[in-house]
A and B are shown apart, each in its own frame.
Chain A
Amino acid sequence: MKHRWSHRAWALLRKRDPARLMEPTPRGSKLWPAPGEHASTSVPGEIDLARHEETETIRLHKQIPTSLTESVTPVSKPEPIELTRVFSWTCSKDLMDQSGNEDASIVRMGQGRAAIFDGASESFAARRWARLLAHYWGRSNTSDWLAAARSDYLRDIASLSLTWAQEAAVERGSYSTITAITVTSEGLDILAIGDSCLLLLRKDQIVWSYPLDHEDQFTSAPQALSTRLDLAVEDSETVVNSHVLIDPARVKASALLLATDAISAWLLASDPKCRTSRLTKLAGCRTQAEFVDLVAFERAAGHLKVDDCTVVGFRIRRKQ
């Protein structure tokens, strides 16, 4: 994907000096209006989405109890809610080389499905694997999406002419995390394997996140889905056991984010003020270029890990 770099990103690449960059200015968000800002919607207090291309919605109709977390466990039959995608940003670890981005995302709003994937950089073909997982997860809600992705991956790799080093690297496998949401008749289903996160927001506050909720929990070796046939059974069992069901309305969430680990860890800072400030900066991005500026600035300041960054934002509304 071609990307037009902004002046500030280029400045960073040349100087690597955050003091020379202007910090992106926090402002009103697509996820929530800034104080005093009146979004021009037909419903007072709601945000104008007319300029955004995504208009399909995910609908949540009814919920059942789970043993997950009391604060978001569905307990009664709520009004249905709608999710609307507001933005989808991604940025490579190397700002000069978007082709090296090993994250992937898929949004199938018409089917009530969305997911993000973070291919493990230390594995052989992380980008290919993450994209295959996204493709097959997006196509099917049945349990065979993982096997189908693995089968395609192995077929593709078998067709390549490999060096001895590549053959050995293939044996080690390729790995990717997944965090996916699906609206079902029973609630909002989350599948999370690894350290990509779902964050529920109420205005400019993070009110719940999953599977991690603090920056210290992000390690260098998260759980991940593998291309290796010897791990196929284990991976399938992990998928089956990694689904949870929640009701975002129980914490009065007005928006949700799907974010890969670097952005998640940055947002889940220890300091609550820091969380709010960073969330406000992120939600204030209006374009991909502004997101890249923000990533460049936060990396240069030492706040954000240099890694591929992907975040997809959704607004939550009760269905009238």
Chain B
Amino acid sequence: MYQAEISRSNPTAYVFLVDQSGSMTEAMVSGSTKSQFVADVINRTLRDLVVRCTREEGVRNYFDVAVIGYSGYGVRNALGGRLANQWMNSIGSIADNTKRVEDRKKMIDDGAGSLAPQQVKFPIWVDPDANGGTPMKEAIAVAAQIVADWSDAHPESFPVTVLNITDGEASDGSPEHNAKVIGSLGTKDGTSLIYNIHVSSSNVEPLRYPTSETALPDEYGRLMFRMSSTFPEHVREYALDAHGIVLNSDSRAMVLNADAEELVKFLDIGSRPATMR
């Protein structure tokens, strides 16, 4: 299980679920709002996926990607332009259909022990948005339908990974059943994976990748635990190599009270593909 190599004939898929409810306007410890920071991290993750597929001759379609926003406006495609015509888009289409490309500065090692600003191109696909309630149950139902359709069309592929970013409880009922449906769908290579991260504006120590439901402080945490998959081996190895995070075979793909840094790590780990060829 989870051994399928990713190729253009057998791509894999990522579905990002983004909470865009009204509470996402709250500021994080870093200063920016939760909605702004989540949008930045999603854009950065999409950029990384595109770059990973980019070769001299163009972008190889190793991935299909959907980004779904859920808020008081309902469950909507968070991507714009031509990408809004269907839920799932190839990574080549993602690369070709940015909303805009901004010039941003990042700090890099100047080779003399100091950090220096370097201008980088930062593509934008998702803008921050925040409004109303949190229809997470419906969003996960939409994701389940997308996962089912995609898995039927790609029976030999590495299964879909669903990454859900939220800052609170669902306002439309328990999403647990729908999450379990996603976990029951899959390809010949394994069942689909669902990862959940709860972002917080309070300065509370994050609770990362628990191995037992009883270790969680409240029913919300226990619900997240039951809704979250365990990690494939290659992801556990990557988490250790890249971030020094020790995950065992029982660790659930969830974080509670995540700060900005934790969200960046979570998406980096969660969007790590198996071997590409």
A-side interface residues toward B, CB under 8 Å? 93, 121-122, 124-128, 160, 163-169, 172, 220, 230, 306-307
4 closest A-B pairs by CB: A169-B54, A164-B121, A125-B56, A165-B54
Assembly CA distance A160 to B277 (angstroms): 24
A163 / chain B contacts, CB cutoff of 8 Å: 54, 95
Given A124-B55, A168-B47, A220 and B275 contact (CB-CB distance below 8 Å): yes
The answer to whether B127 has its CB under 8 Å from any CB of chain A is no
- A307 nearest CB neighbor, chain B only: B277
Given A121-B276, A128-B56, A169 and B51 contact (CB-CB distance below 8 Å): yes
Q: Mark B39-61, 1 if CB is under 8 A from A, else 0.
A: 00000000100111011100100
Assembly CA distance A124 to B54 (angstroms): 6
Assembly CA distance A9 to B223 (angstroms): 51
The answer to whether B240 has its CB under 8 Å from any CB of chain A is no
Are A164 and B277 closer than 8 Å at their CB atoms?
no
The answer to whether B169 has its CB under 8 Å from any CB of chain A is no
B121 / chain A contacts, CB cutoff of 8 Å: 164, 167-168
B-side interface residues toward A, CB under 8 Å? 5, 7, 47, 50-52, 54-56, 59, 95, 101, 111, 120-121, 123, 234, 275-277
Partner of B59, one of A126, A165, A220: A165
Assembly CA distance A93 to B275 (angstroms): 14
- B7 nearest CB neighbor, chain A only: A306
B275 / chain A contacts, CB cutoff of 8 Å: 220
A167 / chain B contacts, CB cutoff of 8 Å: 121
Are B7 and A168 closer than 8 Å at their CB atoms?
no
Assembly CA distance A202 to B275 (angstroms): 34
Interface of B is mostly: mixed
Are B55 and A125 closer than 8 Å at their CB atoms?
yes
Assembly CA distance A125 to B277 (angstroms): 14
Are B54 and A168 closer than 8 Å at their CB atoms?
yes
Assembly CA distance A164 to B121 (angstroms): 7
What are 27 A-to-B residue pairs whose CB atoms are below 8 Å? A93-B277, A121-B277, A122-B52, A122-B276, A124-B54, A124-B56, A125-B55, A160-B56, A164-B101, A165-B47, A165-B50, A165-B51, A165-B95, A166-B54, A166-B56, A167-B121, A168-B51, A168-B54, A168-B120, A168-B121, A169-B51, A169-B54, A172-B51, A230-B111, A306-B5, A306-B7, A307-B277
Given known contacts A124-B54, A166-B56, what 9 new A-B pairs fall within 8 Å (CB)? A125-B56, A128-B56, A164-B121, A167-B121, A168-B51, A168-B121, A220-B275, A306-B5, A306-B277
Assembly CA distance A122 to B276 (angstroms): 7
B7 / chain A contacts, CB cutoff of 8 Å: 306
- A160 nearest CB neighbor, chain B only: B56
- A93 nearest CB neighbor, chain B only: B277
Assembly CA distance A124 to B58 (angstroms): 9
Nearest Cβ in chain B — how far from A265, in angstroms? 13
A127 / chain B contacts, CB cutoff of 8 Å: 56
B95 / chain A contacts, CB cutoff of 8 Å: 163, 165
